[in-house]
Structure 1
Amino acid sequence: MHKSRKPRRARSKLSDVPQRAGVSAVTVSHALRRPEMVSPLLRERIESAIKDLTSIPNRAASILASSRSNVIGVVVSSLTNGVFADYLRVLHDMFQPAGFQVMVLNSGYSPIEEEKAIVTLLGQHPEALILTDVDQTPYARELLEHAGIPIIQTMGLTDTPIDINIGISQHDAGALATRHLIELGHRRIGILAAWFDSRTRNRVAGYVDAMKEAGLFSEALMEWSPLPSTVGQGGERLAALLERCDDLEALFCTNDDLALGVLFECARRGIDIPDALSVVGFNDLEFAASAYPALTTIAVPRREMARMSAEIVLEIIRGSGARPKTARIDLGFKLSLRDSTRSSAAEPLARKRPARSLKATH
């Protein structure tokens, strides 16, 4: 570790105003040069964006001006997803004995809500902030870059970390799950996804790239929900996919909740897993090994991410002050092979079942 690297600083630019205000560059130009052409409401939004973007360093400084507390701020995407429950448990167990309180806010998978949470937490004068996403809004990023405290972005990887980034390549993990099914001999491989946050988008991109490399890609095999992932969504999305792809051979679910819903729906329909349908999940939640059949899934080192994040923060603020030698730490992932996947040639009779059997309900 070394002490020299500091969080990056970046100046706000007027070219960022359109995105911040949610208008076009032409509208901003008119508001500045010919304000009579722009409605009062839009002018107010543009003026507010300019004020925010040109005062971010001062605002960040004022938010943190008073003495800091022993608070570690954490923003998670969900308070009900088991991924984040495990993650928060480790953070609490690391920080509490060291005399810190962990303050947790929920973004609900929304970048705007995450931005609000970051502003709120900075107002509490935290010692550090830990985030479970790497895709912040421009405004949130500016605030964080000028916060002057350790900022840890986790779960995914980014080429432009604000300070320190600890995670995995969600793209490569999605590709690995898909290639596993391809290597088993499956050709009609579908994907179920829910709530397109940055992690899900990258997992889906990995699936698409792997399928295209194998010459197997078809948009008809993709099914997604705009709602947050749940077990119920897994069953509903499988039913929708089978309506148009009744020759489905295998399925990659972008998280284990969806995969568990698929297992339940297949049990209701009398679809044998893995003989008639191979299923891969993502995250390796606690129930994955106990499901029936036991779920093949991508194991993500979320506890290690939390542990390393806490160790780095404690070293910076209570230890030597040293930061990691690299701003981007890739912890990797693995495929946990269990009983929900099988070679397409493992049960020849099962593969000869009429395709419509996948749609049969009981």
Structure 2
Amino acid sequence: MPSPLAQPRKHRASGRVTLSDVARAAGVSPSTVSRALRGERAVDPALIERVTAVSDMLGYVPDPAARALASQRSDHVGILIPLLSNALFVDLLDAAQTSFRAAGYQTLMGVTHYSPSEEEQLLREQLLHRPAGLLVTGLDHNPATRQLMARSQVPCVHLMDLPASDGEALYSVGFRQTDASVAMTRHLLAKGRRRIAFAAAQLDPRVMQRLYGWRHALQEAGVFDPALEFLNPAPSSLALGGLMFEQIMQQRPAVDAIFFCNDDLAQGALLAALRMGISVPQQVAVAGFNDLTGSDQMLPTLTTVRTPRARIGQAAAEMLLSLMRGQEPEAPQLDLGFEIVQRQSS
């Protein structure tokens, strides 16, 4: 076997140590080195250890673009999410990454900041790396992004939302935002509340679906009042939730419940209620959405919609892995549902 101490012959153009250099030093084929460095289960663990040691000694850094070009596939998956500051997407991403890593794939993440044009640009950049698959948040994309997805022929699974029609040719994992909002509004109605406000920030497509659900449930009950819609396009936060609570209570003191589109807004509202001496739920009930960290520790504890974000990330990753293997999932759309969590605030 050639000595691993021999100096590698670097690539003339780049000066990089190549896969062939590692293979020559380890006394195996380049394909074996590739499989060993990916940690494939079919490769003997002792061989993986030997190849890894030689690779580290030579300072070899894999070139994903070259690997993708040679094999017509890559070992990474592109993921587009709106924000990293929202625990909802962090939980989803963590679960998806765990599934991909177990299958030998890396993730290339892009943050869209809820911008259709930024999403389009990120997708163009990710497609340059020939991803094996794509996870994309939501179903609301501009025409150019939809065209990019279709023309790339890269397997794609959509997160969080489900198509309006089961016959729509999209792969997706999530739940129906409108149904969840209807269920929470009906919960508040069942508690005897009739002047139910809806407070929302960010105003992305999923938030607007929750708005439609609130409207539908109140119209169905005959108590809908458009003056009780409080919509702010600013990013969702505890501070904004407190400000919106103060605004609602000053402008509409007869309101007996407030349904916030996200838990951080609702948490901020509960803190504002404490400062203002407003009793929750005796004077006004408060409800949120997503059951984020800390909602069960508020005073009073927050009633909310629990969404299965970690399960969505895992299930979407598993669906995409099936598609990348050329296998058709059992169903193109997977509805993981939601849960109304009643706590002290309602």
Question: TM (normalized to structure 1)?
Answer: 0.73
Query: Structure 1 counterpart of 2:300, which letter?
Result: P
Identify which of 243, 265, 283 aligns with 1:236: 243
Equivalent residues in 2 for 1:134-283, closer than 5 Å: 134-159=139-164, 161=168, 163-283=170-290
Query: Structure 2 counterpart of 1:184, which letter?
Result: K
RMSD of aligned Cα (Å): 1.8
Distance in 2 (CA, whole Å) between partners of 1:261 and 1:88 is 25
* Segment of structure 1 superposing worse, 198-207 or 213-222: 213-222
Distance in 2 (CA, whole Å) between partners of 1:169 and 1:104 is 25
Corresponding residue of 1:88: 93
Secondary structure in 2 matching 1:282? coil
Corresponding residue of 1:287: 294
- In structure 2, relative to structure 1, the CA distance for the partners of 1:326 and 1:65 (3 Å cut) is farther
Stretches of structure 1 that go unaligned for 5 or more consecutive residues are 1-62, 342-362
Query: Structure 1 counterpart of 2:328, which letter?
Result: R
Distance in 1 (CA, whole Å) between partners of 2:116 and 2:324 is 28
Matched residues, number: 277
Query: Structure 1 counterpart of 2:99, which letter?
Result: M
Corresponding residue of 1:348: none
TM-fit CA distance, 1:204: 0.3
Q: Give per-residue Cα distances to partners, 1:192-211, cap 9 Å, x unaligned.
A: 10121110010000001111
* Segment of structure 1 superposing worse, 124-133 or 325-334: 325-334
Corresponding residue of 1:300: 307
**Any conservation in 2 of the 1:91–1:307 contact (CA below 8 Å)?**
yes
Corresponding residue of 1:127: 132
Query: Structure 1 counterpart of 2:81, which letter?
Result: V
TM-fit CA distance, 1:92: 1.5
Query: Structure 2 counterpart of 1:87, which letter?
Result: L
Q: Give per-residue Cα distances to partners, 1:218-259, cap 9 Å, x unaligned.
A: 121111111111111111111222222011111101110111
Stretches of structure 2 that go unaligned for 5 or more consecutive residues are 1-67
Identify which of 312, 317, 337 aligns with 2:324: 317
Corresponding residue of 1:117: 122
Between structure 1 and structure 2, the one with the greater Rg is 2
Query: Structure 2 counterpart of 1:80, which letter?
Result: S
TM-fit CA distance, 1:72: 0.7
Distance in 2 (CA, whole Å) between partners of 1:177 and 1:117 is 35
Query: Structure 2 counterpart of 1:329, which letter?
Result: L
Distance in 1 (CA, whole Å) between partners of 2:332 and 2:290 is 24
TM-fit CA distance, 1:137: 0.7
* Segment of structure 1 superposing worse, 66-75 or 302-311: 66-75
Query: Structure 2 counterpart of 1:73, which letter?
Result: G
**Any conservation in 2 of the 1:295–1:339 contact (CA below 8 Å)?**
yes
Is 1:334 aligned to residue 334 of structure 2? no
Percent identity of equivalent pairs: 36
- In structure 2, relative to structure 1, the CA distance for the partners of 1:148 and 1:270 (3 Å cut) is same
Q: Following TM superposition, where does structure 1 have runs of at least 4 consecutive aligned residues deviating by more than 6 angstroms?
A: 63-66
Distance in 2 (CA, whole Å) between partners of 1:290 and 1:111 is 36
Equivalent residues in 2 for 1:39-58, closer than 5 Å: none
TM-fit CA distance, 1:134: 1.0
**Any conservation in 1 of the 2:201–2:236 contact (CA below 8 Å)?**
yes
TM-fit CA distance, 1:183: 0.8
Query: Structure 2 counterpart of 1:322, which letter?
Result: Q
Corresponding residue of 1:40: none
* Segment of structure 1 superposing worse, 162-171 or 81-90: 162-171
Distance in 2 (CA, whole Å) between partners of 1:207 and 1:159 is 18
**Any conservation in 1 of the 2:198–2:230 contact (CA below 8 Å)?**
yes
**Any conservation in 2 of the 1:295–1:338 contact (CA below 8 Å)?**
yes
**Any conservation in 2 of the 1:193–1:224 contact (CA below 8 Å)?**
yes
Secondary structure in 2 matching 1:72? strand
Secondary structure in 1 matching 2:78? strand
* Segment of structure 1 superposing worse, 185-194 or 95-104: 95-104
Query: Structure 1 counterpart of 2:90, which letter?
Result: A
Distance in 2 (CA, whole Å) between partners of 1:162 and 1:194 is 31
**Any conservation in 2 of the 1:273–1:293 contact (CA below 8 Å)?**
yes
- In structure 2, relative to structure 1, the CA distance for the partners of 1:314 and 1:215 (3 Å cut) is same
**Any conservation in 2 of the 1:150–1:163 contact (CA below 8 Å)?**
no
Query: Structure 1 counterpart of 2:123, which letter?
Result: I
